[in-house]
Structure 1
Amino acid sequence: MKSLTTIFAASIIAFTPISAMGDQLTGDQIKKLALEAILENPEIIRDAITLLQEKEELAKREERKAVIQSQIVALEQDENAPVLGNPNGDVTVVEFFDYNCPYCKSAVPMIKAAIKNDPNLRIVYREWPILSEGSMFAARAALAAREQGKYEELHWELMEVRGRIDEAVVIKAAENVGLDVDKLRTDMKTPQIDAHIEKSMQLAQLLSFSGTPSFVVGENVAPGLISPNQLQDMIDEAREVQAAKE
């Protein structure tokens, strides 16, 4: 990456009349001009840093959009991923989460409200257990609960737990929702569960997610906890984009 001094110098030269520069400036003269400009206008540093950050963020957003476009089927239509809400809905919200993530639990009221208020919304869950061994056990148990038709029940039960989730907590939650625990333990070892978690890890890496929760809605991503208004804006935009394509 170019140094800030070089960037400042290039900017100065770009807006300096040729007659004022003479035939040619040496490297030392360019640096001197840049340093003089900084001393006279220190806000240049702030503005340049802001500009660089904006360019980096824009580049990151474009990279993520490209990933979403190439992985849209894996993100939205994976038959090995749990779906809540309307399975045939016109907009899909993909959430990467961990049962030991307090921010994921904070997002529960928002997700429940979105499902209740929008009959055409699909929620695809990507179990992404990255915080502890307890997280991994919980993710495997939740995915295994699909075999008994109780993924949603166990999911919400685990999300209501306050404090750390470990094996004992998961088993108690499974009993609370009426799961056959012996069958659950057997089903937790199936290849489908390994495949789901591995795919979550791959997608999260491709999207440069660094923590939970992280959301994908249409071509937009939100790495981190968002407000209900932010989620609704993403849903509305995805719906508008889709309508424009039809």
Structure 2
Amino acid sequence: MSASPLSRLFDVVTTAKGASLLAPAILLLGTTLAVGQSASQTPSAPASPPAVSQPASEAKSDTAAAASSVTGKSSAFSAQQREELTQIVKDILLANPEIMLEVQNALEARMDKIQADRMAVALKEHSDELFRPSSSPVVGNAKGDLPLIEFFDYNCGYCKKAFSDVASFVDKDKKTRFILKEFPILSKGSEEASRVALAAKMQGKYWEFHRAMIESQGQANEASALRTAEKLGLDMARLKRDMNSADVKKEIDDTRALAAKMGIQGTPHFIVGDKIIPGAPENLVELLNKHASDVRKDGCKVC
């Protein structure tokens, strides 16, 4: 048997994104109930003026007020009246589903703005750790005017996907200072690969190892990382000692702590001067070039 429109509506608003879209339904229901309650108490009162649309920023407080109205006043309605009012709200939402999309878009825009504001503060507070690291790998031009930072994991498919674009950008832009943050969050194997990478750095082979490892297929772990290092001709006895050193452990621990302070929870995550690129968007090259141009034109306020 097919689901009823009401049950389908319930399915929508109980999804991860849909939960945030319950606001218009509650608001409409609360408004309808409040108007109905007022009308039942003062039948001779003049009609209320038309509702005026309001900014999305006020939706949260209005929703809470509407929910309170429903809780406090709905008991004045009979079961039949409540059913009829619920049907009205349902009909409005089904007839105008774009309401839910409008709320979703407004919510996402607002959350993006909040995240951007928080990141701007975090960039300023942790600029030394980000742009002047004591032990993080740096490739490209170590004295370049454009800092490009990437938090990555060797088992991250999106990091692998983005690598060719990032490497091409660094190779072409001779003034880019590419700072790599080993951020192994996906598996135990990710941390093992990061340990080998940082040990390879101690032999001056970090970029060669990083490129080979991020371009490789299959699971990244200690075994695959050691095979890659051996193919590159590294001193394997020294490498195995260094990968378990306190310095290597500290670099990984420091990067994890920095990511937590920055609110970075996934990979890849790029920082171009004071500009942020979360993830690996399809237009990554375009964004890298645009942010590089903007930073060089306007200056970096936190670098």
The two structures share one fold, judged by TM-score above 0.5: yes
Quickly say closer, same or farther: Cα 1:51–1:87, change in 2 above 3 A: same
How much is the aligned-residue C-alpha RMSD, in angstroms? 3.0
Larger Rg: 2
Q: Following the alignment from structure 1 to structure 2, what is the Cα–Cα distance between the partners of residues 74 and 85?
A: 19
Q: Following the alignment from structure 2 to structure 1, what is the Cα–Cα distance between the partners of residues 112 and 300?
A: 27
Matched, 1:64 2:113: no
Q: How many residues align?
A: 233
Percent identical among aligned pairs is: 31
Matched, 1:230 2:280: no
* Contact kept in structure 2, 1:38 and 1:45, CA below 8 Å: no
Shift of 1:6: 6.6
Match of 1:159 in 2: 214
Q: Give the aligned residue type for 1:71.
A: H
Q: Give the aligned residue type for 1:207.
A: M
Structure 2, unaligned runs of 5 or more: 1-19, 32-45, 50-65, 75-84
* Contact kept in structure 1, 2:274 and 2:301, CA below 8 Å: no
Q: Following the alignment from structure 2 to structure 1, what is the Cα–Cα distance between the partners of residues 301 and 222?
A: 48
Q: Following the alignment from structure 1 to structure 2, what is the Cα–Cα distance between the partners of residues 38 and 58?
A: 30
Shift of 1:55: 1.0
Q: Deviations over 1:125-159 (max 9, x none)?
A: 00011122221111011111222111122112212
Q: Secondary structure at the match of 2:126?
A: helix
Match of 1:14 in 2: none
Q: Following the alignment from structure 1 to structure 2, what is the Cα–Cα distance between the partners of residues 41 and 165?
A: 49
Shift of 1:58: 0.8
Matched, 1:136 2:182: no
* Contact kept in structure 2, 1:98 and 1:128, CA below 8 Å: yes
Q: 2:258 aligns with which of 198, 203, 208?
A: 203
Q: Following the alignment from structure 2 to structure 1, what is the Cα–Cα distance between the partners of residues 184 and 174?
A: 29
Shift of 1:37: 11
Match of 1:173 in 2: 228
Shift of 1:38: 4.6
* Contact kept in structure 2, 1:38 and 1:44, CA below 8 Å: no
Map 1:1-246 to 2 at 5 A.
3-4=23-24, 21=48, 27=69, 35=89, 38=92, 42-226=97-281, 227-242=284-299
Q: Following the alignment from structure 2 to structure 1, what is the Cα–Cα distance between the partners of residues 230 and 129?
A: 32
Q: Give the aligned residue type for 1:235.
A: A
Mean Cα deviation higher: 227-236 or 137-146: 227-236
Q: TM-score, normalised by structure 2?
A: 0.68
Q: Following the alignment from structure 1 to structure 2, what is the Cα–Cα distance between the partners of residues 108 and 52?
A: 32
Mean Cα deviation higher: 57-66 or 199-208: 199-208
Q: Secondary structure at the match of 1:163?
A: coil
